[in-house]
Amino acid sequence: MKDNFVQRLDRLELVEGIEAVPSSMQHDRVRPVAAVESASNLGLPLSDLETFRQHGWSFARVVSSLASKESRPVFLDVDGHLKIDSGSMAVKFAEHVPMSEINSLLEEHGLIVGRKLGFASNLFAVKRSPGSSVTSNSVDLSKELSGIAQVEYAEPMLIEPMAGR
């Protein structure tokens, strides 16, 4: 099962130089990217960009090497759809792993338990620790956590547009 999760993560492509920013958090280190520019020059799907914009997200070209805490990495899946890194992951630990060890393993990676997910034992929503210096995105962190013997799987929680009904 772990290999299936890692293989799926390997098929996500990071969109270099573009980040998603909640509209209320625009700042001087990023400049909004026009939807047409994004779609034509970067191969990004215009319909996904517009859906995210309608729900409060802006896409910005990173002007500085210093990323904002509010900005989120953007990925393209194999079908060409955009996904925004939420900054959280679902991590399932083996049944025998006690909470003290879970906390220690997460702490080593600059993460903390956000909440327990009730539909499986030892399954947690995890996020970065406040003040953490971890700069990896959730996809890379999930791959890293998947390499730990006590972890059954780690999967990033990605924000994606839903097709209309």
CATH of the domain at 94: 3.30.70
Residue 29 · residue 62 · CB < 8 Å: yes
Q: How far apart are CA 33 and CA 18, in angstroms?
A: 8
**Final residue belonging to a domain, choices 28, 56, 79:** 79
* Whole-number percent of the chain with pLDDT over 90: 47
* Domain of residue 123, residue span: 86-159
Q: Are residues 23 and 62 in the same domain?
A: yes
Q: How many domains does the chain have?
A: 2
Write the CA distances from 95 to 80, 91, 107, 127, integer angstroms: 36, 12, 19, 21
Helix (H) or strand (E) holding 9: helix 2-10
| pTM of the full structure | 0.83
The per-residue pLDDT for range 97-122, each reduced to its tens digit, is 999 999 999 999 999 999 999 888 99
Q: Are residues 113 and 135 in the same domain?
A: yes
User: Does residue 165 sit within a domain?
Assistant: no
